Amino acid sequence: MIFISGIVLAIPTTFKRTLWMADTSQAAIPLTYSAVVIYLADILLLALIAVTALRLFLEPNYRLNIRVLISSWQAAGGLWWIALLGWTLASILWAFEPMLTLYAAINLALALMMMIIIAGVVVEGQGRLLFVTMAISGTLFASLALLQITNKGPLGLMVLGERTWIAGDPQNFGETTYRASGLAYHPNVLAGYLVIALLACVAAGSALKNRQARWGLGIAALIIAGGLASTLSRTAWIAAAMLVAPIILTGASLARMRWQIIRWVVALLALTTALVIASGFGMSVWERIYTLADRAAVANRLFYDYPNTAVVIGSSPLVGVGAANLMVVMAKLLSPAPAPLLPAASVYWCLWAELGVPGLALFLISFGQFTPWLLKQGPFQTRLLAWGLAAAAVIMGFNFYLWGDFRTRLLLFWLLGVWWGYRLAPNAVLMATPGLAHQGAQFLSGRA
């Protein structure tokens, strides 16, 4: 749990070390898309996998549990993820920069390992701890975002990875209104992180009976909502609103919980209103909300930065140009290239460009396995997490970071791991003794 908590805390930070860089001297491309970079979260992930390997070697019961979990995961649809990994590896054969494709394949393999490990943590009965850890991390970064908005600019924490900000600077995508980003490289990245943290608050609150603990999570949710408002991320606002759906759709037995959450939602709206008035950026919030009703603006966002990506798609529409090769191929095709070059905002366009039609189809099938659970009867956490994945799908339609940025991708696989854990073991079967391990194996096999 220590390393999982560390990964969660490190995802929205910018500590990194560049190991290899492609030759893109003719174009201005963000480092993330043209180099092999290792982040703090990657180091902690490697440590988590190393510790897990040691447990598998030393603990027969844990080895059995993981074997059963993997078998059940594969039978329930996990083989599609393995197929996607295989296609990603195969794209090395035609990639312009095979090193970047190998880097992408290794990153995906490690993320899948993390997903299985996290699912195992849920099966062992520690799902609540995962939620609480995410809620605490979200509160910390949301508090930092609120301080940035109060200061109307950065806090001078550049040594910790805080981004500098100058109105109209191309490095800040030409934005003229300050948006809080915490220690992330862009406000939208922090916003996506806070949406998952808000989900964690609701999930933990629904599982805990202690009144004081629920109040603590409620206060955390208020802070996270305030931080979410300060990012001015419209997509994240929509995604956060989607988390109300499982509460409305859950049966009458949770009527009391619904009213409690409705009261918290009212409090969230009140806090957000007070925040935008006090900080003086209420007009910016209103302008962002107003554009949500503008169909042209929404369509423009869906196709934001699409033309350059379309050129890459046109060069290899069937099999793509290779995983993680979108930007280097774009720079080659558009040479001399305009500065700066950016991928299409939508993950789905980027997947088509890099992995072609087969890769996009495999991703949609793999990731989309939660959709039957949106309306399916089952435990509240399973349904809530399914709607959290639906919110992530919406985010990926308008922002590429949940998949295109390998560090932030770990956040998506954290959510997938927790969902798969509850999906395969809704009652979080504890398999800590040989007898319970055998019962758990039978249970999971039956569920698959």
- CA separation (Å) from 313 to 87, 235, 253, 398? 17, 25, 50, 18
Residue 282 scores a pLDDT above 60? no
pLDDT tens digits along 49-103? 999 999 999 999 889 888 888 988 988 889 999 999 999 999 999 999 999 999 9
Output the CA–CA distances (angstroms, integers) from residue 59 to 73, 115, 426, in the order listed. Answer: 21, 20, 24
Return d(Cα 381, Cα 371) in angstroms, integer.
15
Taking only the tens place, the pLDDT of each residue in 363-422 is: 999 999 988 888 777 677 888 899 999 999 999 998 888 998 888 999 999 999 999 998
Q: What is the pLDDT of residues 301-319, one digit of tens each?
A: 556 677 889 999 999 999 9
Binning pLDDT at 50, 70 and 90, where does residue 46 land?
very high
Q: Residue 111 pLDDT more than 80?
A: yes
Question: What's the rounded mean pLDDT across residues 125-148?
Answer: 92
What confidence score (pLDDT) does residue 430 get?
36
pTM for this predicted structure:
0.86
Instruction: Tell me the residue ranges of DSSP E strands in 291-362.
Output: none
Confidence grade of residue 249 (pLDDT, cut at 50, 70, 90): low
What is the pLDDT averaged over residues 329-350?
A: 83
Q: What was the pLDDT predicted at 33?
A: 82
Tokens 């931080």 belong to residue: 227
Is 219 within 8 Å of 205 (Cβ atoms)?
A: no
pLDDT of residue 426: 53
Largest Cα separation within the chain, whole Å, is 66
Residue 390 is predicted with a pLDDT of 92
Contacts of residue 16, Cβ cutoff 8 Å, sequence gap at least 6: 37, 38, 39, 40
Q: Averaging pLDDT over each range in 18-32, 112-126, 419-433, which range is the top one?
A: 112-126
What confidence score (pLDDT) does residue 2 get?
79
Cα separation of 425 and 445, whole Å? 10
Tell me the mean pLDDT in the region 164-184: 72
Q: Which residue from 105, 21, 96 is spatially nearest to 353, judged by alpha carbons? A: 96
Averaged over 9-35, what is the pLDDT?
79
The residue that leads in pLDDT, 281 or 94, is 94
Higher pLDDT, 37 or 176: 37
CA 139 – CA 200 distance, rounded (Å): 11
pLDDT at 379: 75
pLDDT of residue 238: 85
Three-state DSSP class for 36? strand
The pLDDT of residue 437 is 41
Percent of the chain with pLDDT over 70: 77
Per-residue model confidence as pLDDT tens digits over 202-239: 888 776 777 788 788 888 988 898 888 888 888 888 88
Residue 28's SS3 state is: coil
- β partners of residue 20: 36
Average pLDDT over residues 282-305: 54
Residue 318 pLDDT: 96
More confident call, 304 vs 334: 334
Average pLDDT, the chain: 81
What tokens were used for 263?
A: 């009261």
**pLDDT band at 429; cut points 50, 70, 90:** very low
Tracing tokens 């394949």 back to the chain, one arrives at 105
416/28 Cα distance (integer angstroms):
34
Residue at token pair 């050129």: 311
